Amino acid sequence: MKRIVAGLAAAAVLLTGCGPAPTSRATQPGSPTSSPTAPSSPSPTTGSLASLHALESAYEDVIANVLPSIVQINTKAGLGSGIVYDSAGHIVTNAHVVGEATKMEVTIATGGPPREARLVKSFGLGDLAVIKVERPDGLRPAKFGDSSKVRVGQIVLAMGNPLGLSGSVTNGIVSAIGRTVTEPQETEGSPGATIASAIQTSAAINPGNSGGALVDLSGQVIGIPTLAAVDPTLGGGTAPGIGFAIPSNTATDIAAQIVKQGRVTNSHRAALGIRGSTVIGADGTPSGVGVVRPEPGGPAAKAGIRAGDLITSINDKKTPTMAVLAETIANLKPGDQAKVGVLHSDGRTETITVTLGQLPSD
């Protein structure tokens, strides 16, 4: 299954219904009693309606409290979403929402004309960015939760501007945690962003949702919706109910570094230190990652990996594509020693031990 960015919304859209309907746990009716004077227990219908109304009320409260912290970001290339990070006007979003733009317009949920904003810094390899609104009055910072405490089955809401429909909300559950997913390569030799410990959700994520908020029922942001899966059997269409979000702990860590220091000084991510691309074998299937260029002085170069080498495995796990290699490295730490399977251009095979470095900020 391929993965695509849930990024910029086009100007013209085709609207289709999506997203699961709200569900609730029905309150079990009380046990029947033989006493003719005892009050009757609630019927299953009454109990179910009460439970549904309670859940509905919880949704309404969360939306009312969180939606004012979600903004729409417009660039010349399209639009996306963002989350108000602080009262100074900083907004966290996806790097692919910002793209190449250094200036953009932000529309806040409380209304009014668009406000000018500028890019503070993008962290492309983690698909995160911080922008700053020049006039921050009226901005309401969101409350960020601890994504390490997210549970599978937890009810969540995705808030953003899908397909340009401002302030839209979809609901679902946390389908899985700890996923590692990679966005498509935008340029040859440059890997797409890899998201470690991603949150998988069934809440509908569409173009324009990127950079918005995945929120729990306590009103805390636990993730930033970023990717939607693509189903090849649907002709490349979005696979219903499979979306991915950057964990809030990752987002707030990167955002804090950018706000305080103007750049990312510690990505906490391991790096092999190569520019590479997927190589297709004679049988038409991916056979490994061809090294286009090892970063000068980087971990791979120091270990003896050269341009033209083919990386076939990391720690005995096959790496047929650049995406698999990036996902494998993302699950390791800076300073770890990795056993890299290499096929040299002269036909020799070798396992080389590489001490991993740190993923750079740019």
CATH number at 106 reads 2.40.10.10
Note if 362 is an active site residue: no
Q: Residue 1's pLDDT is what?
A: 37
In-domain check, residue 106 = yes
> Helices (DSSP H) in 67-212: which residue ranges?
95-98
Q: Does residue 200 sit in the same domain as residue 291?
A: no
- Residue 165: φ, ψ to 5°: -85, 95
Catalytic residue among 122, 168, 202, 210: 210
In-domain check, residue 167 = yes
Q: Does residue 170 sit in the same domain as residue 239?
A: yes
For residues 193-201, average pLDDT: 93
Q: Of 10-19, 135-144, 179-188, 224-233, where does mean pLDDT reach its minimum?
A: 10-19
Other C-beta atoms closer than 10 Å to the C-beta of 300 total: 27
Q: Does residue 92 sit in the same domain as residue 124?
A: yes
Convert the pLDDT of each residue in 51-67 to its tens digit.
888 999 999 999 999 99
Number of domains the chain contains: 3
Q: Does residue 295 sit in the same domain as residue 346?
A: yes
Q: Give the model's confidence band at 3: pLDDT under 50 very low, under 70 low, under 90 confident, else very high.
A: very low
The DSSP result for 276-334, as a single string, is: EEEEE-TTSSEEEEEEEEEPTTSHHHHHT--TT-EEEEETTEE--SHHHHHHHHHTS-T
Convert the pLDDT of each residue in 16-29 to its tens digit.
222 222 222 222 23
For residues 319-339, average pLDDT: 93
In-domain check, residue 54 = no
- Please tell me the distance from the alpha carbon of residue 214 to that of residue 199, in angstroms, as a whole number: 9
Q: Is the pLDDT of residue 168 over 90?
A: yes
Note if 127 is an active site residue: yes
Q: Does residue 289 sit in the same domain as residue 327?
A: yes
Q: Does residue 174 sit in the same domain as residue 236?
A: yes
Q: Is the pLDDT of residue 152 over 80?
A: yes
In-domain check, residue 114 = yes
Q: Does residue 302 sit in the same domain as residue 346?
A: yes
Catalytic residue among 69, 127, 267, 361: 127
Q: Does residue 289 sit in the same domain as residue 230?
A: no
In-domain check, residue 288 = yes
3-state secondary structure of 169: strand
Q: Of 184-198, 220-234, 299-313, where does mean pLDDT reach its minimum?
A: 184-198
Q: What is the pTM of this model?
A: 0.81
Buried b (16+ CB within 10 A) or exposed e, 334-355: beeebebbbbeeeeeeeeeebe
Q: Does residue 105 sit in the same domain as residue 175?
A: no
pLDDT above 90 covers what percent of the chain?
69
In-domain check, residue 15 = no
CATH number at 284 reads 2.30.42.10
Q: Does residue 244 sit in the same domain as residue 147?
A: yes
Residue carrying the six token digits 């908020």: 213
Q: Which residues form the domain of 302? A: 270-358
Q: Does residue 105 sit in the same domain as residue 125?
A: yes
In-domain check, residue 200 = yes
- Please tell me the distance from the alpha carbon of residue 292 to that of residue 79, in angstroms, as a whole number: 33
Which two structure tokens, joined as six digits, stand for 349?
Answer: 């095979």
In-domain check, residue 46 = no
pLDDT, averaged across the chain: 85
For residues 277-293, average pLDDT: 93
Q: Is the pLDDT of residue 74 over 80?
A: yes
Q: Is the pLDDT of residue 85 over 80?
A: yes
> Helices (DSSP H) in the chain: which residue ranges?
44-66, 95-98, 248-261, 299-303, 322-330
Catalytic residue among 69, 81, 90, 96: 96
Q: Residue 53's pLDDT is what?
A: 87
Q: Residue 210's pLDDT is what?
A: 94
Q: Does residue 288 sit in the same domain as residue 319?
A: yes
Q: Is the pLDDT of residue 162 over 70?
A: yes
